[in-house]
């Protein structure tokens, strides 16, 4: 086996005009660290080329804040090909290449030249040398080897068994003492840490569609919870205002229309408005707020779905809404506040172009403007909430960023985030109790053949597995999959998202594997977003409705990852950070290749059940009511093989009275 980069120098890189580029991340290494960083990057390069490449890499590090190794990027667009067109010694080696390439497609990736798939900083791996080596390993891998990838670096192939994972991926896992943004940035610039976000470094991103279904669920439940809308009704005649048309946030206009409502979404970067408009995911765009609210009010009155992009800053938009006393129902924000000082949030008063320039030239002023803008943003939200608008944090660390900008009153305890914030987060109020606690989560599949009719057949097969009368959530999921093709959600390779609980995922996966076995469809990769009942420990987001104090622990996500590896998922991933930032979450995911074999049926039954129910069991132990019910049901259904520990739930009054008395005596 010979896995090395070639001794010949690739051609200098070419950058296609109009393809978005990551901003300069701000070089911040000491002289000694810079030397180490340079030596680190040159580890991938045959020694005869060092003299030639050392200045190039150093220049990238100083001018862009990272060594990306642009010269090693394959020229042109990277696109997922049908799986059989890849080279390899086993199907899983080829399938993993499809997944990686799909994450880097110009139409999918946020900054494809910098290997960023979504969420401002979420990368497939750190640099193009790693990409090339990973591809070589995947071409060489057999059914008796596992590829180990540590923060994008392919450590090597190690012998394993056919039913072990073919790839084990970790990203950005830091020693507790260094587990903070600043130390992470140093590690990333030195070329030893990758920000995997969730499915970016977990190679399971399927384009913005992956988020549309979750956003649709969130909006439907937000409306139903707050405006007395029936479980079987949509959001007709309601207005949703938010910001961001990027990787995930770009799902908002589409999801709002599918939910029957009207959306006005602010976006400062015109290229992102154009992308979503060209895709048909946002219908109208303007920078004139008067025009926008005339369109919106008319559509609300008629009860017609509509989505509008506002080319401008969300704070300006909210100022307009507030001063003109305009009626809106739902309000959120999806700027990249998890990377608020890295360009994720554009401050009021400067354009997107000015923000990029200021980041390069005067970071201190940039940070000051961000804080000022966040404070104003908060004041406007507060006023709108007083007028009856329902605001929810969209898991982007918005409220934490406001707190860090100096607004103490956003914290429940007026000091820090330890007791949460005064506004709800979408998981705390909506996704947690109504989706995750039942085990529902973002199940997804990729038709590796790349054929439209495979996707069509799998959509129909999945729909046939759902009983819309079982629960309200099943009805919403049924409607989603029934209309999925009509809603034109696919960007990149043929893939589908479908929220399902444990039973639903198992039934659908078994059905798909049978279809592969019978030759009705080509091989399929199933997986999920890390944003799931058991995949992520994140107190500001996925575990925001865990209230037994264990939201500071990361046992669940770690156990989920280990259990999935032990049960034979094709690949598993565990990351630091996710959508909320370094040190604030540990999250993991998996991919399972459906090759039609009976062995895979067995993995589906064991591993999918563990993957979902491990999370539900932990939620049940945290005394979450709906999870307790689902766990009791599972204990009855699978009493021969599985058993979940069910908590005794203490009476609130009894505990409160006793504690009150004990504290009174201490005084």
Report how many residues bind ligand NAD under the rule CB under 6 A: 34
The torsion angles phi and psi of 285, rounded to 5 degrees, stand at -145, 145
Closest listed residue to residue 395, CA positions, set 435, 418, 425: 425
Shortest reach from residue 238's CB to ligand NAD, in Å: 19
Q: What does the angle CA 650 – CA 654 – CA 655 come to, to the nearest 5 degrees?
A: 70
CA 34 to chain centre: 32
Closest listed residue to residue 157, CA positions, set 201, 116, 96: 96
- Using CB under 6 A, which of the segments 23-31, 116-124, 467-475, 598-606 binds ligand NAD? 116-124
Structure tokens that stand for 199 in this block: 């499915």
- Using CB under 6 A, which of the segments 394-402, 406-414, 433-441, 455-463 binds ligand NAD? 394-402
How many angstroms separate the CA atoms of 358 and 355, rounded?
A: 5
Q: Is 346 in the site for ligand NAD (CB under 6 A)?
A: yes
Nearer to ligand NAD, 97 or 356 (CB): 356
Q: Is 201 in the site for ligand NAD (CB under 6 A)?
A: no
- Give the CA dihedral 632, 216, 404, 355, nearest 10 degrees: 150
Q: Is 307 in the site for ligand NAD (CB under 6 A)?
A: no
Q: Is 282 in the site for ligand NAD (CB under 6 A)?
A: no
Indicate which single residue of 83, 245, 479, 574 sits in contact with ligand NAD (rule: CB under 6 A). 245
Window 354-383: contact mask with ligand NAD (x via CB under 6 A):
------------------------------
Q: Is 432 in the site for ligand NAD (CB under 6 A)?
A: no
Shortest reach from residue 213's CB to ligand NAD, in Å: 10
How many angstroms separate the CA atoms of 256 and 96, rounded?
A: 33
Indicate which single residue of 338, 444, 618, 634 sits in contact with ligand NAD (rule: CB under 6 A). 338
Nearer to ligand NAD, 568 or 579 (CB): 579
Is residue 348 a contact partner of residue 258, using CB atoms and an 8 Å limit?
Answer: no
H or E, element range at 266: strand 262-267
- Using CB under 6 A, which of the segments 188-196, 240-248, 454-462, 611-619 binds ligand NAD? 240-248
Indicate which single residue of 258, 314, 515, 617 sits in contact with ligand NAD (rule: CB under 6 A). 314
Nearer to ligand NAD, 244 or 535 (CB): 244
Structure tokens that stand for 492 in this block: 């990149």
Indicate which single residue of 223, 247, 305, 591 sits in contact with ligand NAD (rule: CB under 6 A). 247
Shortest reach from residue 317's CB to ligand NAD, in Å: 8
Angle of helix 472-483 versus helix 209-227 axis, rounded to 10: 140
Q: Is 222 in the site for ligand NAD (CB under 6 A)?
A: no
Half-sphere exposure of residue 430: CA atoms within 13 angstroms, side-chain side:
23
Shortest reach from residue 120's CB to ligand NAD, in Å: 4
Window 568-587: contact mask with ligand NAD (x via CB under 6 A):
-----------x--------
How many angstroms separate the CA atoms of 175 and 377, rounded?
A: 35
Q: Please tell me what DSSP assigns to residue 148.
A: E
Q: Is 214 in the site for ligand NAD (CB under 6 A)?
A: yes
Indicate which single residue of 395, 433, 450, 533 sits in contact with ligand NAD (rule: CB under 6 A). 395
Sequence length of the chain is 667
| Coil, helix or strand at residue 83 | helix
Q: Is 560 in the site for ligand NAD (CB under 6 A)?
A: no
C-beta atoms surrounding 176 within 10 Å: 7
Is residue 367 a contact partner of residue 342, using CB atoms and an 8 Å limit?
Answer: no
Indicate which single residue of 151, 164, 189, 336 sits in contact with ligand NAD (rule: CB under 6 A). 336
Is residue 552 a contact partner of residue 179, using CB atoms and an 8 Å limit?
Answer: no
Q: Is 215 in the site for ligand NAD (CB under 6 A)?
A: yes
- Using CB under 6 A, which of the segments 113-121, 473-481, 517-525, 622-630 binds ligand NAD? 113-121
| Strand duo 524-528 + 441-447: pairing | antiparallel
Q: Is 243 in the site for ligand NAD (CB under 6 A)?
A: yes
Is residue 446 a contact partner of residue 524, using CB atoms and an 8 Å limit?
Answer: yes
> Which residues are CB-neighbours of 10 under 8 A, at least 6 positions away?
71, 72
Q: Is 332 in the site for ligand NAD (CB under 6 A)?
A: no
Q: Is 394 in the site for ligand NAD (CB under 6 A)?
A: yes
| Strand duo 330-331 + 390-391: pairing | parallel
Indicate which single residue of 249, 425, 576, 626 sits in contact with ligand NAD (rule: CB under 6 A). 249
Nearer to ligand NAD, 334 or 458 (CB): 334
Q: Is 269 in the site for ligand NAD (CB under 6 A)?
A: yes
Indicate which single residue of 67, 95, 229, 268 sits in contact with ligand NAD (rule: CB under 6 A). 268
- Applying the rule CB under 6 A, the residues between 522 and 541 that interact with ligand NAD are none
H or E, element range at 254: helix 251-258
Q: Which residue is nearest to ligand NAD (CB)?
A: 246
| Coil, helix or strand at residue 451 | coil
CA 90 to chain centre: 29
Indicate which single residue of 67, 110, 509, 569 sits in contact with ligand NAD (rule: CB under 6 A). 110
Shortest reach from residue 217's CB to ligand NAD, in Å: 10
| Strand duo 524-528 + 390-391: pairing | unpaired
Residue at token pair 């060594």:
67
Q: Is 396 in the site for ligand NAD (CB under 6 A)?
A: yes
Q: How far is CA 417 from CA 96, 178, 184, in A?
A: 39, 20, 21
H or E, element range at 572: strand 571-576
Nearer to ligand NAD, 145 or 313 (CB): 313
Shortest reach from residue 203's CB to ligand NAD, in Å: 16
Q: Is 114 in the site for ligand NAD (CB under 6 A)?
A: no
How many angstroms separate the CA atoms of 243 and 264, rounded?
A: 8
Shortest reach from residue 377's CB to ligand NAD, in Å: 8
How many angstroms separate the CA atoms of 629 and 647, rounded?
A: 11
Structure tokens that stand for 631 in this block: 């766990």
Shortest reach from residue 197's CB to ligand NAD, in Å: 7
Positions in the binding site for ligand NAD (CB under 6 A): 110, 118-120, 211, 214-215, 243-249, 251, 266-269, 272, 313-314, 334-338, 344-346, 394-396, 579
């Amino acid at each position: 086996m010979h896995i090395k980069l070639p001794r010949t120098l690739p051609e200098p890189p070419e950058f296609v005009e109009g393809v978005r580029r990551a901003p300069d991340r701000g070089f911040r290494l000491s002289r000694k660290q810079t030397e180490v960083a340079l030596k680190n990057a040159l580890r991938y390069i045959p020694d005869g080329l060092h003299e030639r490449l050392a200045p190039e890499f150093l220049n990238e590090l100083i001018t862009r804040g990272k060594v990306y190794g642009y010269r090693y990027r394959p020229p042109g667009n990277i696109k997922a090909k049908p799986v059989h067109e890849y080279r390899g010694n086993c199907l899983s080696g080829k399938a993993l290449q499809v997944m990686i390439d799909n994450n880097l497609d110009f139409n999918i990736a946020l900054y494809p030249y910098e290997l960023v798939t979504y969420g401002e900083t979420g990368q497939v791996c750190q640099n193009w040398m790693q990409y090339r080596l990973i591809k070589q390993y995947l071409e060489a891998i057999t059914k008796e080897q596992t590829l180990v990838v540590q923060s994008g670096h392919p450590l090597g192939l190690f012998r394993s068994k056919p039913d072990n994972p073919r790839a084990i991926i970790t990203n950005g896992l830091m020693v507790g003492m260094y587990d903070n943004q600043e130390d992470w940035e140093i590690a990333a610039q030195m070329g030893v840490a990758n920000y995997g976000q969730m499915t970016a470094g977990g190679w399971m991103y399927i384009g913005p569609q992956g988020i549309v279904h979750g956003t649709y669920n969130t909006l439907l439940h937000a409306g139903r919870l707050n405006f007395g809308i029936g479980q079987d009704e949509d959001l007709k005649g309601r207005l949703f205002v938010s910001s961001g048309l990027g990787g995930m946030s770009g799902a908002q206009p589409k999801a709002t229309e599918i939910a029957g409502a009207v959306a006005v979404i602010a976006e400062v970067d015109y290229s992102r408005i154009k992308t979503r408009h060209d895709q048909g995911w946002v219908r109208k765009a303007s920078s004139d707020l008067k025009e926008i609210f005339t369109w919106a009010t008319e559509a609300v009155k008629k009860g017609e779905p509509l989505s509008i992009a506002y080319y401008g800053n969300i704070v300006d938009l909210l100022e307009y809404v507030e001063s003109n006393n305009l009626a809106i129902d739902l309000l959120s924000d999806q700027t990249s506040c998890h990377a608020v000082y890295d360009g994720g949030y554009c401050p009021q008063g400067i354009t997107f172009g000015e923000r990029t320039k200021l980041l390069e030239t005067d970071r201190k002023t940039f940070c000051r403007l961000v804080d000022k803008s966040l404070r104003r943003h908060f004041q406007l939200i507060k006023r709108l909430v007083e007028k009856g608008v329902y605001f929810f944090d969209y898991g982007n660390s918005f409220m934490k960023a406001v707190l860090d900008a100096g607004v103490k009153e956003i914290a429940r305890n007026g000091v820090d985030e330890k007791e949460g914030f005064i506004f709800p987060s979408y998981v705390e109020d909506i996704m947690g109790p109504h989706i995750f606690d039942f085990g529902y989560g973002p199940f997804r599949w990729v038709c590796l053949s790349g054929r439209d009719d495979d996707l069509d057949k799998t959509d129909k097969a999945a729909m046939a597995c759902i009983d819309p009368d079982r629960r309200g959530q099943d009805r919403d999921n049924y409607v989603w999959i029934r209309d999925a093709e009509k809603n034109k959600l696919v960007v990149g390779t043929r893939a589908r998202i479908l929220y399902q609980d444990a039973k639903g995922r198992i039934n659908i996966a078994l059905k798909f594997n049978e279809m592969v076995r019978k030759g009705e469809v080509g091989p399929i990769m199933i997986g999920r977003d890390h944003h799931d009942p058991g995949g992520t420990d994140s107190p500001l987001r996925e575990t925001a409705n865990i209230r037994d104090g264990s939201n500071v622990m990361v046992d669940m996500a770690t156990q989920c990852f280990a259990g999935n590896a032990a049960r034979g998922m094709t690949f598993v991933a565990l990351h630091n950070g996710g959508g909320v930032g370094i040190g604030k979450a540990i999250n993991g995911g998996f991919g399972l290749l459906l090759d039609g074999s009976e062995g895979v049926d067995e993995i589906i039954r064991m591993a999918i059940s563990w993957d979902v129910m491990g999370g539900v069991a932990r939620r049940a132990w945290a005394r979450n009511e709906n999870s307790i019910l689902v766990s009791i049901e599972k204990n009855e259904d699978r009493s021969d093989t599985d058993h979940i520990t069910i908590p005794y739930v203490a009476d609130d009054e009894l505990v409160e009275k006793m504690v009150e008395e004990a504290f009174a005596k201490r005084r």
